[in-house]
Amino acid sequence: MFELSSPSLPSDKARTLLRRLRDLNLTAGPVAVTRELGVVIAGCLSLDGPAESGVRYRVRLTDGTERLLEIGIRDAKLLMSTIGSQPGALRHLEATLTYDRNGRACARTIRARVQPDSNDTRELEHFLRRVVRAVLR
């Protein structure tokens, strides 16, 4: 359950979360976005850069096209964007990040939460999948 009056995620925890998502370098199986749309997360493209400037992943859609997923954090907001080569492929979404009493970063609008300093691949993957579903819907 998400708490409505949670404080904003501290900036050091936000940076840690971005570093964890970058270092995850996820190459996962299919992610169902809708009944008709699925994607494959095809790895992190920003492994050699500072996570604070954003984390970029390549995602492949079922029709064979690719998009770039960008994840950043600014002013306690999770910024998510997709960029593609086709018109209408640009999409931007923001979600407020809060900090719950268990120390988790919570993005209520996309129904995602994660320990910012987690090393648990499954927990980080679950969070990333929520980001992908939210921004590609």
- DSSP for 80-122, please give it: EEEEESSTT--EEEEEEEEE-TTS-EEEGGGTEEE-TT---HH
Looking at this protein, which amino acid is placed at residue 88?
G
Residue 5 lies in a domain: no
Contact status, residue 9 vs residue 76, Cβ threshold 8 Å: yes
Does 43 map to a domain? Answer: yes
Q: Could you tell me if residue 4 is inside a domain?
A: no
- Asked if the structure places residue 3 within a domain, the reply is no
Whether residue 108 is predicted with pLDDT greater than 90 in this model: the reply is yes
Taking 60 as the threshold, does the pLDDT of residue 2 lie above it? no
* pLDDT-derived band at 105, boundaries 50, 70, 90: very high
Q: How far is CA 93 from CA 9, 67, 68, 78, 96, in A?
A: 18, 15, 14, 8, 10
The answer to whether residue 26 scores a pLDDT higher than 70 is yes
pLDDT greater at residue 84 or residue 123: 123
What percentage of the chain reaches a pLDDT higher than 70?
93
For residue 44, tell me if it sits in a domain.
Answer: yes
pTM, full prediction: 0.88
Cβ contact 41:132 at 8 Å: yes
Q: How many domains does the chain have?
A: 1
Q: What torsion do the CA atoms of 21, 121, 34, 53 make, to the nearest 10 degrees?
A: 0
Per-residue model confidence (pLDDT) at position 3: 47
Tokens 């925890």 correspond to what residue?
A: 13
Domain contains 1: no
- Mean pLDDT (the chain) is 89
Residue 22 has pLDDT above 70, yes or no: yes
- Asked whether 90 and 83 are in contact (CB, 8 A), the reply is yes
